[in-house]
Amino acid sequence: MIPVVGYEGRKVAVLGLGRSGISAARSLVAGGAEALCWDDSVEARDRAAAEGFTIHDLTRAGAFDSVACLVVSPGIPHLYPEPNRVIAAAWEAGVPVDNDIGLFFRSLGQGDWMDHDTPPRVIAVTGSNGKSTTAALIHHIFSEVGVPSQLAGNIGRGVLDIEPPHDGEVIVLELSSYQTDLARSLTPDVAVFTNLSPDHLDRHGGMGGYFAAKRRLFAEGGPDRCVIGVDEPEGRYLANQLVEGLEDSRLIRISAGQKLVHGWSVFARKGFLSEWRKGRQSVSIDLRAMDGLPGAHNHQNACAAYSAARALNLGPRQIETALASFKGLPHRSQLVGEKDGVRFVNDSKATNVDAAAKALQAFPRIRWIAGGLGKDGGISDLAPHLGAVAKAYLIGFSARDFALQLGDTPYEICETMEVAVAKAAAEAEAGDTVLLAPAAASFDQYPNFEKRGEDFTAQVEALL
């Protein structure tokens, strides 16, 4: 646990008592603060009370009297589509609003931090797609080469739940736009921006607000070194703002398709990762046989992770060996099994069109399981990426809407995962990939994308 500093003997309100909220309350108490906890859910309040926390109704008048700060869980909107009433009341009372990420960066460098011979360093990863795999891959690389590492944030443990870092340790954080948008302190040593595509637009008031939330990690965090994906205009804009010129070594540009030969750059083309510095190629790594990193989107993740490791002075061949041993993450291009030349791949995390497009480009012939709770615009933007789809098997609430947007691609309305997997497996031929890449949220049939992926995995394992 990381004790929160700066609030000793003071009252700090905590709104939202899920994983991050309870973690923040524990760390506040460990740092000498009094945590005043509130959640709209009676069950959540009861769990907090059973743990000994003070339950304090933040919706009543005068609730913020003598309160030094309000700590908000990431799922609670603070601006769009409209501010939560408790957050609005905190603003009115002049109480600063923060989240667990802000508390983490505020507290991490205190205490015995400077007593380390090699101070621990923080790598923070954000972006629309690939940030979980990139963060996990960075953690894997450092662990494989013998450098102590912890993984936290939007993946793994809450940031305040990690152990106080050891000498020379690397802390890898995956940070969502919900987390970067509100944190009052953002000071990573290395910051990574993977890419940007439309997502969470209602929460951020549109694409500009969504990008602005990501940008805060770089513009306000002041990292020593930045790794920026430049395949979208926003990435190129961000890269341009952060440095004085092409040769500024504080920036590593990455791409999943462009050849980048200026400054310090890392890109992947035709399955090979290349590193260029000062106009010359210095490294080439063959990614094609790495089963844990299939497809161009995972090659971009490899470029981002490779660059972050290089930013902290790991050697190219050390990184290459670690990349080859990475097995991938559950629900993200996860190879579940293979039978009679047919591969079964679980990419349940492909909850939006951009992520699904990347999955559809990763395999030569696909039996595509898609559907769920569709997002604005449906899947019409996937039309250019359906060439490898032999047939679509549609499930969930948006199955019929998706069917209307498939053009000439064969499809079948299956409704449930069980039916879709059985149909796809029965019709698949050697060389096919049965791919779950829903292009939709899971909440019509499952509590989250993990449960959806677990159902797919269970159905496949039963067949195998």
Report pLDDT digits (tens) over 391-439. 999 999 999 999 999 999 999 999 999 999 999 999 999 999 999 999 9
348 is an annotated ligand-binding site residue: no
229 is an annotated ligand-binding site residue: no
Low-confidence ranges of the chain (pLDDT < 50): none
φ/ψ (deg, to 5) at 254: -130, 155
197 is an annotated ligand-binding site residue: no
The pLDDT tens digits for 340-354 are 999 999 999 999 898
127 is an annotated ligand-binding site residue: yes
Q: What local confidence, expressed as pLDDT, does residue 271 receive? A: 93
448 is an annotated ligand-binding site residue: no
Q: What local confidence, expressed as pLDDT, does residue 62 receive? A: 96
The helix-helix angle for 233-242 and 207-219 (nearest 10°) equals: 30
Q: What local confidence, expressed as pLDDT, does residue 221 receive? A: 82
Each as own residue / partner, the long-range contacts of residues 145-153 (CB below 8 Å, 24 or more positions apart, any chain) are 145/314, 145/318, 145/319, 145/322, 147/314, 153/101, 153/124, 153/179
Give the CA-trace dihedral at 151, 156, 21, 206, to 10 degrees. Answer: 90
**CA-to-CA separations, 327 to 140, 143, 368, in angstroms, rounded:** 10, 14, 22
The pLDDT tens digits for 196-205 are 988 888 899 9
The pLDDT tens digits for 287-323 are 998 988 988 889 999 999 999 999 999 999 999 999 9
Which domains does the chain carry? 11-98 (3.40.50.720), 105-324 (3.40.1190.10), 334-463 (3.90.190.20)
